């Protein structure tokens, strides 16, 4: 059965959608079948994976509201082994429309039961809020990946998220895990970066990913071409860092680069 990750942080612009798009592409390239679920009305993950809004028939809105079965909403992307349930702006009204629906916290979980067997990994791209839609993701998932920028006050947001996770654990999803905190747009030259990493590691021991994603212009350009960075510029720092992160998720050692192998031989 596929492992379900929610990629969540109630702060906007921290790299959630970028992480979903690029992790999905890497896992797919490694032969894993991946389903992305975009549950942010902005639809950044949808466009980042090259899906044109006009072409969308059913979206995550229809799935949450019960207007379509999950299978009907899944579309293949042009990237190896990666499918997506896209999001449209209709999702912005979903929370209010769901007020009258029974069991509204468990909508996504129930729908996912019917397709979990079809994928190795399911990645849910959450909105920048701790609303009902994000709760659906936290209840439906096995584990949470938290992208985060190394800034002052980062810890404040993190403790809020951890409180929510605690509540979800006690009331709805006792086996919910925290996969880890992924630092994005990371600049190791800044003092604050090291300080924040240290603080988060103290607050959540063993839960800071080894990989840090640097600020990389290729990563910010790729979505406007509807491509994950490894398809847009496979030699970029962005592609390399998401490859390392993918290996960490797969719990594999990162591959040794050809040029490094070459150096090693020459040294001998």
Ligand X SMILES: Nc1ncnc2c1ncn2[C@@H]1O[C@H](COP(=O)(O)OP(=O)(O)O)[C@@H](O)[C@H]1O
7 to 36, contacts with Mg ion by CB under 5 A?
16-17
Are 142 and 177 spatial neighbours (Cβ–Cβ below 8 Å)?
A: yes
User: How far is 268 from 140, CA to CA, in rounded Å?
Assistant: 52
19 to 58, contacts with ligand X by CB under 6 A?
44
Closest distance between ligand X and the C-beta of residue 187, in Å? 10
Considering only the stretches 80-88, 152-160, 219-227, 252-260, report the one whose residues sit in contact with ligand X under the rule CB under 6 A.
219-227
Token couple for 131: 């609303």
* Beta bridge partner(s), residue 76: 83
Considering only the stretches 9-17, 23-31, 64-72, 259-267, report the one whose residues sit in contact with ligand X under the rule CB under 6 A.
9-17
14 binds ligand X (CB under 6 A): yes
Per-position x/- string for 98-137, each x denoting binding to ligand X as judged by CB under 6 A, each - no binding: ------------------------------x---------
246 binds ligand X (CB under 6 A): no
Choosing among Mg ion, ligand X, none, which partner's interface includes residue 27 (Cβ < 5 to 8 Å by kind)? none
Q: How many residues does this entry show for the chain?
A: 268
User: How far is 141 from 130, CA to CA, in rounded Å?
Assistant: 15
The residue among 47 and 68 lying less far from ligand X, judged by its C-beta, is: 47
60 binds ligand X (CB under 6 A): no
91 binds ligand X (CB under 6 A): no
Per-position x/- string for 198-217, each x denoting binding to ligand X as judged by CB under 6 A, each - no binding: ---------------x-xx-
Closest distance between Mg ion and the C-beta of residue 210, in Å? 24
Beta strand 34-38 pairing with 121-125:
parallel
The residue among 94 and 239 lying less far from ligand X, judged by its C-beta, is: 239
Are 43 and 182 spatial neighbours (Cβ–Cβ below 8 Å)?
A: no
149: left (phi over 0), alpha (psi -120 to 50) or beta: beta
Nearest to 82 by CA among 185, 228, 237: 228
**What does residue 129 show for φ and ψ, rounded to 5 degrees?**
-170, 160
177: left (phi over 0), alpha (psi -120 to 50) or beta: beta
The residue among 82 and 104 lying less far from ligand X, judged by its C-beta, is: 82
131 to 160, contacts with ligand X by CB under 6 A?
none
Cα dist from 243 to 102, 117, 120, 138, whole Å: 41, 25, 17, 25
Closest distance between Mg ion and the C-beta of residue 17, in Å? 3
Applying CB under 6 A, which residues contact ligand X? 12-18, 44, 128, 184-185, 213, 215-216, 219-220, 223
């Amino acid at each position: 059965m596929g492992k379900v990750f929610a990629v969540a942080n109630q702060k906007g612009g921290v790299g959630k959608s970028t992480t979903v798009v690029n992790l999905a592409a890497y896992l797919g390239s490694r032969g894993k079948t991946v389903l992305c679920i975009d549950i942010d009305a902005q639809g950044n993950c949808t466009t980042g994976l090259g899906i044109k809004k006009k072409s969308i028939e059913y979206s995550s809105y229809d799935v949450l509201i019960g207007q379509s079965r999950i299978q009907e909403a899944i579309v293949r992307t042009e990237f190896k082994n990666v499918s997506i349930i896209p999001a449209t702006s209709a999702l912005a009204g979903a929370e209010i429309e769901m007020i009258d629906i029974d069991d509204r916290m468990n909508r996504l979980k129930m729908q996912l039961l019917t397709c979990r067997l079809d994928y190795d990994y399911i990645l849910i791209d959450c909105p920048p809020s701790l609303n009902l839609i994000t709760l659906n993701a936290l209840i439906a998932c096995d584990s949470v990946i938290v992208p985060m920028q190394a800034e002052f006050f980062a810890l404040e947001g993190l403790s809020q998220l951890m409180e929510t996770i605690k509540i979800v654990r006690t009331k709805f999803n006792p086996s919910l895990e925290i996969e880890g905190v992924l630092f994005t747009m990371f600049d190791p030259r800044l003092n604050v970066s090291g300080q924040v990493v240290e603080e988060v590691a103290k607050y959540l021991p063993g839960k800071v990913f080894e990989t840090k994603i640097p600020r990389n212009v290729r990563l910010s350009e790729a979505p406007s071409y509807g491509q994950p960075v490894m398809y847009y510029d496979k030699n970029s720092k962005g592609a390399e860092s998401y490859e390392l992160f993918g290996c960490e998720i797969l719990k594999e050692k990162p591959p040794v680069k050809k040029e490094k192998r070459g150096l090693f031989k020459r040294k001998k």
